Structure 1
Amino acid sequence: MGTLTTMAGRKQFDVDEALRRAMLVFWRWGYSEASIDRLTEGTGLGRGSLYGTFGDKSNLFRKSLLRYAETYHPLYEQALSGPHPNPSAVMAAFLQVSLNRIADPKVPDGCLLTISATQFPALDAEGQAMVRGMIDLLLARLAQALRAAGATEQEATELALCTLATNKSLAVLSRAGFAGKDLATVAAAAARIPTTPTSVDI
């Protein structure tokens, strides 16, 4: 899978697998620290093959980020599709996707979109637009699901921001070595926010 082979004196490789491996390099190191040497080592490609196939580092990053979104954002879509009995359930479902990804030992800790947002100034204009666009799409989809679960327009806007902020904090805390049970506690606390004002019987 994805290994280099030689046919008729030319190196052949699986482009999709090479892109997946490049995605993992950017995910682990972030754009700034994902050097060409790390990318060639991670993908198993020489510089010529890397540049010839994917273009420069910025272009490879954008392709990797798109691959990341194509892999993980459908899981968020599935979680948000519902039906959900209340806004808390929407938030819990969304954050559970994040917890599941963080718990996967086959991928780096954190989130490629999150680490890319933290290195926003290092990205070119197209990369910045892609990062912000993906965040905005998640926010819009969250708000839509929250409204469907009974939140008002203002509540949906506020809770979508809260949920996304929690999502990003989980990614950062996981990279700092916080245990899965601690991350689950953060997610559960955030999901309780919508019901807190009405939890006292009158």
Structure 2
Amino acid sequence: MKLIIGNKNYSSWSLRGWLAAKQSGLHFDELTVPIMGEEWDRLKHDMGEVQPSSGKVPILWDGEAVVWDSLAIMEYLADKVGRDRFWPKDEVARAMARAMVAEMHSGYQSLRKEMPMNIRRRVQLADVSEQTQHDIVRILTLWAEARARHGSSGPYLFGTFGAADIFYAPVVTRFVTYGIGVPGFAQAYMEVIAEHEWMRAWTGAAEEEQWVIEQYELAV
């Protein structure tokens, strides 16, 4: 398999796809392409016949199968290796995890716009819009409920590392980047995510990247 991802410093969806591929336990080759660069434009052109011209990463190539969109990639991999590797075995917990992942996949537009992922950056937000504050409170509420109801078996949202952690991992980096104050349980969870070996590998690579996308550096 081959996983095509964007810049590790900025691409939250690439992080999700990459974590899903790591969680699958399957071997994959990683191809990092600077988004918004000439190499990315060439790659989009070359792939025009096998995937919609959405111009988005990540993209998973597995033989003749081409899967784009991080959620689709995770579900494709879950079908290959067994869904229990990604989703809680308990039906009630699994239902909540699916809803949380779907909400992250389609929601929180204000937070995404106001707080773009930028792992290298540290900035204290002078002001947060009401809608972004609503997004933050909603995420913290979901984290609290998942941990309280289904997290007794381990330090992750549903005890063991899985789909929900994969999809909320970029939010953890955003809260760190923009100095968002969180309650103690959330801080403990964020530290666990940050210390995960795969997250350490990703953030370390992001720190070493040379690419700079000015529009993300000028945000806030």
Please say whether Structure 1 and Structure 2 have the same fold, judged by a TM-score greater than 0.5: no
Which structure has more relative contact order (CA 8 Å, sep 6+)? It is 2
- TM-score normalised over the length of structure 2: 0.29
Q: Which has the higher helix share?
A: 1
Q: Which has the higher strand share?
A: 2
**Rg: which structure is higher?**
1
- TM-score normalised over the length of structure 1: 0.31
